[in-house]
Amino acid sequence: MRVLVATSIFGLALAGCAASQPAAEETTPPVSTSVPTTTPTPTLVPLNHPPTANLTAGVTGGPVPLAVSFTINGTDFDGDELQYNLTFGDETPAESGSLNEDLQIIHTFTIVGSFTVVLNVSDGTSFTLNSTTIEVGLPPEPVIFSGEVLLPDAWASTIAENNCFLAILTGDDPLTYDLIGRTHRFPHPLDGWSYAFDNADMGAIFWDDAPNILGSGAAGTVPAGTTYTQVCLRVPGANVSYTMTITPP
């Protein structure tokens, strides 16, 4: 009997111990509140090609005042409308506008210096630059020719157009003459310059390189296209020294 009682007491003790243990809590998995993300589809942007810009100057230098004709044009691979801006580097206003075809722009430089002319052609997204340099110098000095026309006692050949007598220096042939020493090649184009002799008996014949006679006279304006001049006596029978002065306009 004692053994049974002891066993019962031990069993009660064990049961009490078991009853005193707290019950295991159920754990609930966390609920996700994040919004699923999606990868955006990339936007394809068309590739833009920069335009071309072409700039050509009629002349790149000369004396002040210097009028220069600029030819400009541009193309665009994408067919975009083009705008241009042309600056002259001399603090004068720029030229600008639409560039749909070849344009010719004339600009006069009125001061001496070296000027960078810049063309900017834009298609609204990108642009291209082109440039050229214009050298503007001081006005030219007068050109002075001097010498002596020797008229021997032989013949004198007359050019009726200008009544200018040319000395015959070779033999007795009235159609043969030589003006070596009295032929002057101009140092640069002198079209439009005025000329005059210090001796009223003198005259000049103006030639191009063909050669063609372009004009003549004792005073006046150098004809366009003249590259050299021949000096002659207007009255035969004397040896005459002369000074011919050619003055810029």
Q: Give me the domain span that covers residue 199.
A: 143-247
Q: What is the pLDDT of residue 22?
A: 56
Number of compact structural domains in the chain: 2
Q: What's the average model confidence in pLDDT over 40-69?
A: 89
Domain presence at residue 7: no
Choose one of 137, 160, 176: the last residue of a domain.
137
Choose one of 115, 137, 159: the last residue of a domain.
137
**137, 146 Cβ separation under 8 angstroms:** no
**177, 170 Cβ separation under 8 angstroms:** yes
**What's the mean per-residue pLDDT of the chain?**
77
If asked whether residues 175 and 130 sit together in one domain, one would say no
If asked whether residues 180 and 151 sit together in one domain, one would say yes
In the predicted model, is pLDDT for residue 11 greater than 80? Answer: no
Lowest mean pLDDT among 137-151, 162-176, 215-229: 162-176
Choose one of 112, 137, 162: the last residue of a domain.
137
pLDDT in tens, 23-49: 556 666 666 566 667 777 777 767 899
**β-pairing, 156-159 with 164-167?**
antiparallel
Cα dihedral angle (230, 236, 239, 244), rounded to 10 degrees? Answer: -40
* Token digits of residue 55: 């700039």
